[in-house]
Structure 1
Amino acid sequence: MAKRVFLIVLDSVGIGEEPDAAAYGDEGSNTLRACWQSGKLSVPNLQRLGLYNIEGVGCGEAVERPLGAFARMRESSAGKDTTIGHWEIAGIISPKPMPTYPDGFPPEIIREYERLTGRGVLCNRPYSGTQVIHDFGREHEETGALIVYTSADSVFQVAAHERVVPVKQLYEYCEAARKLLQGEHGVGRVIARPFEGSWPDYRRTSNRHDFSLTPPRDTILDKLRAAGLDTIGVGKIYDIFAGKGISQTSRIQNNEDGMEQTIAWAKKEFHGLCFVNLVDFDMVYGHRNDVPGYTAALNRFDEQLGELLPLLREDDVLMITADHGCDPSTPSTDHSREYVPLLLYGKEIAAGRDLGTRPTFADTGETAAALLGVDAGCDGESLCPLVLARG
């Protein structure tokens, strides 16, 4: 039984199209392979753990004796967004996709939002987050109207200049949107997108904040908390689960900071789960089709992984996975419907154990809970009988 489990989500690091990828417009997507084909990908620590040994990964060089156990995880939920992916990792399969708005939000929603905030609304359609502040930022500064936009994901995003709308007030406006967008219009996330600077050189700040739907039922986080264990969220884990089941949270500035904080947690005493999200792969590189940037970010993560591994104790387990794909080499700038990797490493984990393809991300969370001695009873199946060295 483990005392500490470190579960790291490499946000959007998919490893190849799922069988239903065509229904999502994602034929041929393979985020990891796109980086590997750049010729610049160097992830020796992930490689030694077994990344390229995973079934169907389609790139890289497998090692003869992987240090970890490994699997390919298929998403069972209907969707390919961050919220649904993380909820499934934590034990909730979502049979229905969250609503999206390719034509913008309905007039009645916008009218009510304007009433609630006392401000007008600009844009109201799918848009690039950097382009939208360029195109509407000057009008926003002149009028005080909020820039509301969406994407292919189930999101309601509100951008405002920090000089026009103080960050605290923007958060209040987003909380109002979160209460408004329930039921039929229950988007996965309302996102505050503050920015600064002067036109045309606006810059988004680090004060982004996500207001997620509350998970519809208990996840492994709730089950671990009920068992008296620590549940530490690093990055936007707290936001994704609307704080539900999280005992402590550490906000981060970027991937590198996220790994620095994870390394710091590895040096502390706790008993339970450290659940980490590294969003830059997706937000900074995947959505911008930046193959070199994505590749460099993976390389840097691998370097920091090399710092984390020696800190793991005899009763620690490391799990590395992802929540969807976001292939930076395809014409699309949206998430892609892909399998994701699962790597497990620790003294009690059977090195080199090939777990094949699993039917749901939920097996990841159920396994994490079982390693900590908790039968979560969520939607997944524990891999412990297959993955423990004595198994």
Structure 2
Amino acid sequence: MKRFLVIVLDGFGIGHMKDAEKVRPQDVGSNTCKHILEKKEKLKLPNLERLGLMNALGEEVSSMKFSSNATFGRAELMHFGADTFYGHQEIMGTNPKMPIKEPFYKAAERVYEALVKEGYKVEYVYGKRGKYLKVNNALTVADNIEADPGQAYNITSALDVIPFEEVLKIGKIVRSKVYVSRVITFGGKNVTIEDILSAEEEKENGYIGINAPKSGVYNEGYNVIHLGYGIDPEVQVPTIMGKAGMKVTLIGKVADIVINDYGKSITGVDTEEVLKVTIDELNKMEEGFICTNVQETDLSGHSENVEAYANKLEIADKYIGEIMEMLKDEDILLVMADHGNDPTIGHSHHTREMVPILVYGKNVNKVELGTRETLSDVGATVAEYFNIISPENGISFLKEIRK
């Protein structure tokens, strides 16, 4: 019996990628890990230090030192930009594909035709320049007005009127006809279609959508699934394992953004809560794969709050230490990130940074894994560990770490 646990410290990068100068010049100079440690000189993360965080960073900072007994490396982002959704798809074995940016009104007609063909009642809702769709008098399909323009479409639904399973079915039809980064299917209870329509907002250049917080869909019975461009769950680790009859548990934000039809998905945001749930699920699981996302580090980066970021790291470090003590002989723990989010860089967005790869287990070799070309090397390693079909992308480093 063996278990593989991945903990993603969301947004905890270790230095800007070389291509940032060309593709994201605003991120040049970013180094989330280093800059937090420099600002918080007394911050001590003993378990991450033991795992080789400073080794992966490549230098000692403040009170944090190199580990002489670590298995570590770093990974570049193969996905464009610096994105939590695509970062986790990449971790699970996807080779990310480049979407386009397009206001929904340009895609509305082909979505309308596809939904009508499937028997749905579809109506246009018009703004000054843009337009969106109302479907079955239960949901809207429109621009996501909170994200960067043209990056995502929202399907905002009243779950007292339509079950979420049907919303997701509609979402998959929409996804098949559009080329933007994400189609986000979500809804809440105790909300009417009138509540949703009354939260309509229109922006420049024909972007029109629903202000989700204003609509009330977050308040009660909220449910969400993100559908990404070029994402095929069939070639990702959770689906491959699930179809093979193996247990997969996703915890935290990863539960919202990675398809896990055959396993268990547990949402959550609070750092202590998601890590306590991780420990509970690890205790219950005799064999299988767990992936946990610690989201509050990323949220602290967005708020440019070094103090909050350091606090969340301290909490995560404590529970990582407890998990290390729980591991059995064949178990493997891997701690990593999905991109950077440097709270000191001068803007509140993700930063295109390399991420640490820190591996621990009683039967793990103490080796340097170098710089991996993609986060998918993690998914490929998980697949080889469980002797299942390899995912779409990535090169396993299992043979390097195994004694």
- Same-fold status (TM-score > 0.5): yes
Tell me the alpha carbon deviations over residues 88-137 of structure 1, each in whole angstroms, 9 at most, x when there is no partner.
Answer: 1111222x323346xx5446539978x97869689999xxxxxxxxxxxx
User: 2: distance between equivalents of 1:154 and 1:256?
Assistant: 31
Summarize the Cα distance change of 1:167–1:270 in structure 2 as closer, same or farther, 3 Å threshold: farther
Residue of 84, 90, 101 corresponding to 2:92: 90
The answer to whether residue 369 in structure 2 is matched with residue 355 in structure 1 is yes
Count the aligned residue pairs. 359
Aligned counterpart, 2:398: 384
SS state of the match for residue 54, structure 1? helix
- Structure 1 residue 258: Cα displacement: 0.9
Tell me the alpha carbon deviations over residues 26-55 of structure 1, each in whole angstroms, 9 at most, x when there is no partner.
Answer: 211222223212216331110111101115
Contact 1:234 1:252 (C-alpha < 8 Å) held by counterparts: yes
User: 1: distance between equivalents of 2:141 and 2:108?
Assistant: 16
User: 1: distance between equivalents of 2:129 and 2:364?
Assistant: 49
Contact 1:105 1:124 (C-alpha < 8 Å) held by counterparts: no
Contact 2:77 2:374 (C-alpha < 8 Å) held by counterparts: yes
Tell me the alpha carbon deviations over residues 298-321 of structure 1, each in whole angstroms, 9 at most, x when there is no partner.
Answer: 111112212222111122110111
Aligned counterpart, 2:24: 24
Aligned counterpart, 1:151: 147
SS state of the match for residue 145, structure 2? strand
Aligned counterpart, 1:241: 258
Summarize the Cα distance change of 1:364–1:169 in structure 2 as closer, same or farther, 3 Å threshold: same
Contact 1:155 1:191 (C-alpha < 8 Å) held by counterparts: no
Aligned counterpart, 2:43: 41
SS state of the match for residue 337, structure 1? coil
Aligned counterpart, 2:108: 109
Residue of 156, 179, 182 corresponding to 1:188: 182
Greater alpha carbon shift after TM alignment, 205-214 vs 216-225: 205-214
Aligned counterpart, 1:133: none
- Structure 1 residue 276: Cα displacement: 1.4
Residue of 144, 167, 173 corresponding to 1:179: 173
Aligned counterpart, 1:135: none
The TM-score with structure 2 as length reference comes to 0.75
Report the identity percentage: 26
Tell me the alpha carbon deviations over residues 52-85 of structure 1, each in whole angstroms, 9 at most, x when there is no partner.
Answer: 1115467456645444311110112333212221
Counterpart residue type for residue 296 of structure 1: N
Summarize the Cα distance change of 1:122–1:159 in structure 2 as closer, same or farther, 3 Å threshold: farther
Contact 1:286 1:333 (C-alpha < 8 Å) held by counterparts: yes
User: 1: distance between equivalents of 2:277 and 2:240?
Assistant: 24
SS state of the match for residue 277, structure 1? strand
User: 2: distance between equivalents of 1:154 and 1:314?
Assistant: 45
User: 1: distance between equivalents of 2:371 and 2:397?
Assistant: 12
Aligned counterpart, 1:128: none
User: 2: distance between equivalents of 1:345 and 1:329?
Assistant: 30
User: 2: distance between equivalents of 1:377 and 1:194?
Assistant: 34
SS state of the match for residue 33, structure 1? helix
SS state of the match for residue 14, structure 2? coil
Contact 1:79 1:98 (C-alpha < 8 Å) held by counterparts: no
User: 2: distance between equivalents of 1:228 and 1:166?
Assistant: 31
The TM-score with structure 1 as length reference comes to 0.77
User: 1: distance between equivalents of 2:53 and 2:271?
Assistant: 20
User: 2: distance between equivalents of 1:296 and 1:378?
Assistant: 37
User: 1: distance between equivalents of 2:189 and 2:296?
Assistant: 18
SS state of the match for residue 212, structure 1? strand
Contact 2:142 2:153 (C-alpha < 8 Å) held by counterparts: no
Contact 1:15 1:339 (C-alpha < 8 Å) held by counterparts: yes
Residue of 248, 257, 265 corresponding to 2:273: 257
Residue of 297, 301, 308 corresponding to 1:293: 308
Q: Which runs of 5+ in 1 are unaligned?
A: 126-143
Counterpart residue type for residue 149 of structure 1: I
Summarize the Cα distance change of 1:274–1:124 in structure 2 as closer, same or farther, 3 Å threshold: farther
Q: Which runs of 5+ in 2 are unaligned?
A: 131-139, 191-212
Counterpart residue type for residue 19 of structure 1: K
User: 2: distance between equivalents of 1:256 and 1:369?
Assistant: 28
SS state of the match for residue 80, structure 1? coil
User: 1: distance between equivalents of 2:339 and 2:180?
Assistant: 21
User: 1: distance between equivalents of 2:317 and 2:30?
Assistant: 22
Counterpart residue type for residue 365 of structure 1: G
Larger Cα Rg: Structure 1 or Structure 2? 2
User: 2: distance between equivalents of 1:110 and 1:13?
Assistant: 41
Contact 2:379 2:391 (C-alpha < 8 Å) held by counterparts: no
The answer to whether residue 81 in structure 2 is matched with residue 74 in structure 1 is no
Aligned counterpart, 1:7: 6
Contact 1:79 1:97 (C-alpha < 8 Å) held by counterparts: no
SS state of the match for residue 185, structure 1? coil
User: 1: distance between equivalents of 2:286 and 2:43?
Assistant: 34
User: 2: distance between equivalents of 1:57 and 1:194?
Assistant: 47
Tell me the alpha carbon deviations over residues 309-336 of structure 1, each in whole angstroms, 9 at most, x when there is no partner.
Answer: 2111122110111111122222322222
Greater alpha carbon shift after TM alignment, 149-158 vs 305-314: 149-158
